[in-house]
Amino acid sequence: MNLPSPAFYSSELMQAPIFVVDDEPVNLKLVERILGNEGFRTVHSIQHPEQVVEHYRQVRPHLILLDINMPHLDGFGVLQALKQHSDTPLPPVAFLTAQNASEYRVKAFDNGVLDFISKPFNRLELIARVKNLLALEHAHQALEHRKNDLEAMVQQRTEALRKTQLLVMQKLGRAAEYRDHETGAHILRMSHTAALLARELGCGDNDVQQILHASPLHDVGKIAIPDHILLKQGRFTAEEWAIMQSHTTLGYQILQAEESELLTLAGEIALHHHEKWDGSGYPHQLAGERIPLSCRIVAAADVFDALLSQRPYKQPWELDQALAYMNAQTAKQFDPAIMTAFNRRIDDIVAIRAQYQDPAPNTAAPADTVS
């Protein structure tokens, strides 16, 4: 039998730990000597099969040479015990046996055994099978490492794309602020309040984060509203009001992108955040739970902060006055379930307002970070 040259096998393979399990000390010494003479340096001989699991906990071998017929626990029993106590797939297993009966071999293959090494041992056959099985395990481990590396690379690039997307959305939201009365602080307060309400209502972490990052674009459609209407301090004419209301559909048109879950949500919020629970809102007069939950949440968070904020056309309301209005609008403008959560977390909502205060004149708005 022609064996590959030693150079074919890496030193890493020759250092790979090997378990040899046999109740006969003579067999253990023989296998250990054959493999040692060939250059294998980490051969673990185990005479008592019931000790294999304990050895396995301490050293994870790259190959197990396992006798079938042993007292107390045969080779099949050892295999079963290893599978029960291992949280990862077992390395290649080869049975050491003088048995040639087909039922033994079929049962062994059914239990994951990859090869048989016949007794009495043929030195060249033993070496060849050991090297081939180790090479197989080495290739398997290399593929697993490569798979893990690729998965990590995909995760890194996905995270980079996510952060880029969030940054672009934040910049787009900031562009909308420049055309409106709203400040960056209002956007931060509103979005963090919306996220808090979403969590209080039982939304999962991903949905909470999506609402946090999508809600700042709720008024992005105002970019397309003419200044003489957007910045008007008096009452709108019927025609002007219709144009002002169109910021919802314009925002949806700007943001709609089926390939992006976050932009899809932002478009949904932009379109429906002025709908009201009783159906008197716009643009589609949706009512009750026909209004998406995200939009019902943002509506409450947005109106509350707007009431407490100064605008060119109004002075800020007092907290008690704003709370009274919000509760009076329960089941009219606002979802009752959201208002229940709102009142339950009012102290935290007020704390958000204190954290993100409006900037003093001629100073930059408070910055949020991509996360």
For residue 362, give both structure tokens: 């001629």
Question: Amino acid letter at 304?
Answer: F
For residue 360, give both structure tokens: 């003093």
Determine the Cα–Cα distance for residues 21 and 29; give it in Å rounded to an integer: 11
Packing angle between helix 184-200 and helix 346-355, nearest 10 degrees?
150
Catalytic residues: 222
Determine the Cα–Cα distance for residues 282 and 270; give it in Å rounded to an integer: 11
For residue 83, give both structure tokens: 């599978």
User: For residue 283, is the peptide bond before it cis, meaning its omega torsion is within 30 degrees of 0?
Assistant: yes
Determine the Cα–Cα distance for residues 231 and 243; give it in Å rounded to an integer: 13
Q: Which residues contact 368 (CB under 8 A, 6 or more apart)?
A: 170, 184, 188
Instruction: DSSP letter for 254, please.
Output: H
For residue 306, give both structure tokens: 């707007």
Q: Integer distance in angstroms from the first to the last C-alpha of the chain? A: 62
Q: Where are the beta strands (DSSP E) in 285-324?
A: none
Determine the Cα–Cα distance for residues 213 and 272; give it in Å rounded to an integer: 17
